Structure 1
């Protein structure tokens, strides 16, 4: 089963680099505001979006495969039906430790593949909400 325990979620926030698939350049959208919050908390946020050139003053990658830096966590802001393909790309990388889908996004089969590969899966939870809750 995907990670659900508070202690396990706290461990996720020990990582430093978060690639955000579906990161938005539009303030007011969760896919912009959540990664921006994470940046403000000191995380290295890598935006991934094939339809944007720059977000948060940094270049945007078209896909996870294009990201040159090491990634600890992949945070997904895409519809549930796209999660499986994104998980495949995350599992192609040796550096990804956690795959996290945001609130309302889930794919149980893809999450099982993440865990079967010895990595952590978190589904349908907001990273900002969980970070705030655990930091309180």
Structure 2
């Protein structure tokens, strides 16, 4: 069930680590200003933007992983064109256990 009450929202905001998928390097866009605001307010923000090597003095992601059952070839193409790795339709836990476990 989605979080909706003020009490639940307050509790969710108390978690100080958050991923922002689709973070933007373009100032003025909400996808830039919101993660910037969160960083300025002490959150540990993991920025997910397959085209950015760094934002707000934080490293960008080196790989995009879509879990089992999730595919998007368009995203994969853009990620690979940006020089990053792209995995889709694989469970990270299963693959970790199988290959590194």
Larger relative contact order (CA 8 Å, sep ≥ 6): 1
Asked which structure has the greater CA Rg, the reply is 2
Number of aligned pairs?
Answer: 71
Query: 2:49 maps to which residue?
Result: 49
Equivalences for residues 8-87 of structure 1 within 5 A: 8-63=8-63, 65=65
Structure 1: distance between partners of 2:2 and 2:51: 30
In the TM superposition, structure 1's runs of 4+ consecutive aligned residues that sit over 6 Å from their partners are: none
Specify the SS of the correspondent of 1:46.
strand
Specify the SS of the correspondent of 2:34.
helix
Structure 2: distance between partners of 1:14 and 1:2: 16
Equivalences for residues 103-122 of structure 1 within 5 A: none
Over the aligned positions, Cα root-mean-square deviation in angstroms equals 2.7
Structure 1: distance between partners of 2:8 and 2:64: 24
- Which sections of structure 1, spanning at least 5 residues, go unmatched? 66-81, 83-88, 94-136
**How far off its partner does 1:58 sit?**
1.5
- Which sections of structure 2, spanning at least 5 residues, go unmatched? 66-74, 76-88, 94-101
TM-score (norm 2): 0.60
